[in-house]
Chains A and B, each alone.
Chain A
């Protein structure tokens, strides 16, 4: 966990130093997307080649799916409540600070990484 945090801090620092180079930062946004695909593919491979998981998938898998579904269902539904009461009005932590004084700005429908 500490190593992950160290990598993240290193990245943040590098990002701060490069923040004037917009084109480069956008390239890293695109690289992030492709590494997400790579990571998911590799996770699939490691599950597919794990004989323990594949062999037990039918017997124990169903129970695991049910418990996961209830855990996720409860979490996601409660998060709708938390979001509604504490986050929605707060709409885009940073955006508020910038737009203060201006009338409610229309929400940007595109993913944030596309923002100029």
Chain B
């Protein structure tokens, strides 16, 4: 399990290092093929989940528990931010909650928050939500082992339907594929709604 995380961290760190040093071909930097790598990955995940002998059992297991995943993400994130606000009383509640409400969906949340609150908070939202995604990618093997198989889904937040889906399926098991997709879809829809709601409450 530990080995899985180490290999993933290794590839990620190598990418950052080569990127900073500029030791990557211009073409990779200009066209950013990570999107295509993701598309490829999603097809592979589809095939390996769809090709599983237990596929029909997994589909039939869809039930009310699925709703508990996004509820846990929202409640857990806001609880964590509430603790943060108690420890750092100088921070603005609405702004901190809005950054948390990105749930890993950094592209949309950072653009939205930049417009509502300014570029500085936008960059914080971008970084905080990238961290959420990267953390999930890197530590899913450990999360699934020590915090239960639901933990990677909840940690991934809105990203559990695409970028973090492959690691979740690999380490929590294929039976968590549908709950991860459901969780991601619900949160992806809720991110813009919750962020705008927070700002309308604050003004």
A86 to B73, CA, bound (A): 15
Residues of B contacting A53 in the complex (Cβ-Cβ under 8 angstroms): 123, 126-127, 130
Residues of B contacting A46 in the complex (Cβ-Cβ under 8 angstroms): 15, 19, 32, 34
**B11 engages A37 (CB within 8 Å):** yes
> How many residues in B have their beta carbons less than 8 Å from beta carbons of A?
101
In the complex, which residues 124-181 of chain B have their Cβ closer than 8 Å to any Cβ of chain A?
A: 124-132, 134-135, 137-138, 143, 147-151, 153-155, 157, 161-163, 166-167, 169-171, 173-175, 181
In the complex, which residues 21-69 of chain A have their Cβ closer than 8 Å to any Cβ of chain B?
A: 21, 24-25, 28-29, 31-33, 35-50, 52-54, 56-57, 60-61, 63-68
Residues of B contacting A54 in the complex (Cβ-Cβ under 8 angstroms): 20
Q: Which A-chain residue is minimally distant from B127 (CB atoms)?
A: A64
The dominant DSSP class at the B interface is helix
A88 to B88, CA, bound (A): 35
Residues of A contacting B127 in the complex (Cβ-Cβ under 8 angstroms): 53, 56-57, 60-61, 64-65, 68
**A73 engages B123 (CB within 8 Å):** no
Q: Which B-chain residue is minimally distant from A78 (CB atoms)?
A: B76
**A40 engages B137 (CB within 8 Å):** yes
Residues of A contacting B19 in the complex (Cβ-Cβ under 8 angstroms): 44-50
A5-B181, A82-B154 are known contacts; what are 16 more A-B pairs with Cβ within 8 Å? A5-B161, A8-B45, A11-B47, A12-B50, A32-B45, A33-B170, A41-B14, A43-B15, A68-B131, A79-B155, A80-B147, A86-B68, A94-B57, A97-B61, A111-B171, A113-B48
List 27 interface pairs A-B (beta carbons < 8 Å), by A numbering. Answer: A1-B188, A4-B39, A5-B161, A7-B42, A10-B43, A12-B50, A13-B50, A15-B48, A15-B50, A24-B51, A32-B166, A39-B37, A41-B14, A41-B15, A43-B15, A43-B134, A44-B15, A48-B20, A53-B130, A56-B123, A65-B128, A76-B76, A79-B72, A80-B148, A82-B69, A86-B65, A95-B175
